[in-house]
Amino acid sequence: MLIVGLTGSIGTGKSTTAALFRQCGTPVFDADKCVHHLYDGLALEVLGKRFPEALVGERIDRNILAGIVRDKPAALKELEAIVHPLVYRRRDEFLAAHRHAGAHAVLLDIPLLFETGASRSVDLIIVVSAPMALQRQRVLARPGMTEQKFDSLAKAQLPDEEKRKQAHFTILTEHGLEYADRQVNLFQKAMSQIDPF
């Protein structure tokens, strides 16, 4: 089974690109969505004890939690030590299920693919890319986003240029959805010709 890693800096259109692959029939593991489910499930109790300020009723408020760990490397490391092993377990369950089902290829949608070292566990890497000015414009249009939050998030990620240097394939999203969709379809065709490792 071919394991493809999909990544991209904030505001590049990575989630939309992952959805295009899903529409083509490729199984997609969404690491961000997995984390959000963990915040409300398996990780809720331990996160509530370690970061009680982020516990609102029976759930972890992701915005409050992000504010707590922003620019605090030690707190961020503690959060990652709690959440990452649980994400890896879910990812491994996803891979095992699709390998058992005979899938030719799967896509791992991981925003911090390079930063967490997850790039070493995939066969091919796709980077979704867009100019920084467009990234900023897209992200600042999100509810509750500020220039400071955007700069902090962007700083925590490997720069787009560095990601593209390590990619096997780059999908450009600055020319709109139709253009991105054509690139996804081209990659899907190329992927179907590759014998799984």
How do the domains of the chain map onto residue ranges?
1-27+103-189, 34-93
The matching CATH number, chosen from 3.40.50.300, 3.40.640.10, 3.10.450.50, 3.40.50.10680, for 1-27+103-189 is 3.40.50.300
Q: Which pTM value belongs to this model?
A: 0.89
User: 197 pLDDT exceeds 70?
Assistant: no
The model's pLDDT over 88-98, given as tens digits with 9 standing for 90+, comes to 999 999 999 99
Would you give the DSSP letter of residue 102?
T
State the chain's mean pLDDT as an integer: 92
* Residue-level pLDDT at 19: 95
* Residue-level pLDDT at 156: 81
* Residue-level pLDDT at 32: 92
Rounded (10°) CA dihedral 23, 25, 26, 29: 60
The model's pLDDT over 131-169, given as tens digits with 9 standing for 90+, comes to 999 999 999 999 988 898 888 888 888 999 999 999 999
User: 83 pLDDT exceeds 70?
Assistant: yes
